[in-house]
Structure 1
């Protein structure tokens, strides 16, 4: 038996329970992993609450798609990951099928990458999802180039901070948006060229001022909702507004018609576009690993909780006060 976080109904953090469950044996293409650290993601809070893009199909349900640990056993056909190998699990599966909020978990080998030697367990759980998300959206799909400007909402999130580091490495100019003035210093330290505190002067006007009236080639938005209309005004002609989150929880209009049909590209993005495509994942893993080797990319961790405190960890996740990744450790 192994400690496993499950929930028997959708709801707030309090529905999460730490229960004993049998992990089972890895099947074809699967690995059994002793989990050391787990990266918490906003998608997991939405899944738990019943508001994610994918509904919960059956109870009790599991959570978690990002972790680090050590391979205990491999199922048939799961090659390249011998027992004892330190690895990281990346979001590449449905939480209706697998979940890593546990001491030991089964995951598909296709959702596992080798953990670089210079990363400890906490770093191995914190680094992959943010950088894979930023790389897939901005480099693989968006084609960001040196000299481009990218505007980042929810910039103090783990993905926002990764996007800042990625833009700096590419030679692009990251403009960070935050609701909290107290986070300005941390965002500048992380490499943001400019920080805009939302809620004051019109954000689009400020972005246009900072870009000489041209607007940004990319807006990388985790909030969605009616605010996309204002953000779209700040997109340069032919630029792209990427929606990768729905923190607002409100309906999201297409702003093109309201703004007079500008030359605007708007698309949604999830990290699964990258992680479930073997060739894209191969390129993304190489890009992130290169950044980790040179020090251009680092895991930024906000707080570390024990798995037994997962309810409090989810409350902190939903508070919006964090800067960087929230981690839960198992004691392995």
Structure 2
């Protein structure tokens, strides 16, 4: 048997249950993983609340990220062996492959042997955030040395990954955060500048930091009412990558500014890379190389034991974390 997180109704963390389910057997092209750590994402909360865009089929599992040991492989899987330490790259069907359980199945194409220098907790805090940030900054926006990259919600795990990736490619990261409370932590994480959005004039500060040119790349998971501000702060020819919706307020866009600046506004999700083997391979190689060089270091906010998995979700929804929230599991007997 395997203890897996499931929910039978839409709602807050209180609807989550740790339930015993039969341990699955891998079919062709699948890998069975005995989990040692899960990574939590904002998408887990949205999915549980019925706001993710993919409706849960109740009762439902959840979870996009896991790190652990290979317990079995299905037919046709030759690149992994039992006992190997692996993680998953999100981008598969969540309804078919929920990751938050003691024993979970994953499609082999989404499984990676994580770098030796990473613990299970660090590995569970790696692929979603770095692949997402790589996709927006490198694959889509082609961030170059000397570019100014504005990163909204910069204290999130993806935001911190974006700060590190900007630094690795030689760009200047400008971190946006609601208040000054996390300023020191963001500077220590590698941001070249920090703007507290409720305390400062965002557009004026970005113009000041860019000699009035504006930002060439903007990486945003918020959307909503702030989108107009980001467009105003963008440089001519800039690329604005939107990878999430934390603010469901309909966005108002100044179309004239969009035209005059020749801006590109691009929606992005990690599944886009996961569906393209060439682009995914490039992303995984970039992250592996960055981890090995010490430029990409997963930032973990807090590790919760399995028994406190619901409290981990509550912590996620308090929005005061800096980095990744992880749930650690004991070795499965």
Q: TM-score, normalised by structure 2?
A: 0.97
* Mapping 1:29-48, distance limit 5 Å: 29-48=29-48
Q: Does 1:215 align with 2:242?
A: no
Aligned position for 1:20: 20
CA distance in 2, matches of 1:306, 1:101: 13
Moved more, 270-279 or 322-331: 270-279
Aligned position for 1:193: 192
Deviation track 1:54-74 (CA, whole Å, cap 9, x = no partner) reads 222x11111111110000000
5+ residue gaps, structure 2: none
Q: TM-score, normalised by structure 1?
A: 0.97
Aligned position for 1:158: 157
CA distance in 2, matches of 1:260, 1:280: 30
CA distance in 2, matches of 1:146, 1:256: 29
Q: CA deviation at 1:251?
A: 2.1
CA distance in 2, matches of 1:256, 1:53: 27
* Mapping 1:225-236, distance limit 5 Å: 225-236=224-235
Q: Does 1:114 align with 2:113?
A: yes
CA distance in 1, matches of 2:254, 2:37: 41
CA distance in 1, matches of 2:258, 2:24: 55
Q: CA deviation at 1:129?
A: 1.1
Q: Cα RMSD (Å) of the superposition?
A: 1.2
Q: Does 1:272 align with 2:245?
A: no
CA distance in 1, matches of 2:188, 2:157: 14
Q: CA deviation at 1:273?
A: 1.4
Conserved? CA contact 2:24–2:103, under 8 Å: no
Conserved? CA contact 2:89–2:274, under 8 Å: yes
Conserved? CA contact 1:23–1:106, under 8 Å: no
Q: CA deviation at 1:319?
A: 0.8
CA distance in 2, matches of 1:260, 1:276: 32
Conserved? CA contact 1:92–1:110, under 8 Å: no
Conserved? CA contact 2:36–2:328, under 8 Å: yes
SS in 1 for 2:124: helix
Aligned position for 1:54: 54
Deviation track 1:270-326 (CA, whole Å, cap 9, x = no partner) reads 111112211111111111101111111111100001122111100101111000000
Aligned position for 2:305: 306
Aligned position for 1:262: 261
Q: CA deviation at 1:7?
A: 0.5
5+ residue gaps, structure 1: none
SS in 1 for 2:315: helix
SS in 1 for 2:281: helix
Q: Does 1:80 align with 2:87?
A: no
CA distance in 1, matches of 2:168, 2:178: 25
Deviation track 1:12-35 (CA, whole Å, cap 9, x = no partner) reads 111111100113211111011000
Conserved? CA contact 1:155–1:177, under 8 Å: yes
Conserved? CA contact 1:228–1:255, under 8 Å: no
SS in 1 for 2:298: coil
Aligned length: 331
SS in 1 for 2:238: strand
CA distance in 1, matches of 2:134, 2:30: 26
